[in-house]
Amino acid sequence: MKNVMRYLGLLAKLLVFLLVLGFALKNSQSVVFHSYLGYVWQAPLIVMLGLAFVLGVLTGALALLPTLFRLRREVGKVPAPADTETATDIRPV
């Protein structure tokens, strides 16, 4: 069962890769990006979309960092459970 899931995962990754590759080949025309101070950058559409995706992921990760650090601090303050003997720990003689 574990191997079947592995192969299904690989098949899904291959399918996503082929879809993105086909999208990139269909949209290979150049687009122009106009920035401040007259800066102009020309690149294929898939490069621009990939860059926008990566910048979005980085922005989201940076926005989550303060919450992540706060939660880690709170977990560090919680005391560890004390070891207590229970009825199941008693061994017969």
* pTM of the shown model: 0.62
Q: Hey, where are the domains in the chain?
A: 28-71
**Which pLDDT tens digit goes with each residue over 18-63?**
998 898 888 889 999 998 999 999 999 888 988 999 999 999 999 9
Token pair for 64 = 């989550």
Q: Which of 24, 60, 64, 14 is nearest to 44 (CA)?
A: 24
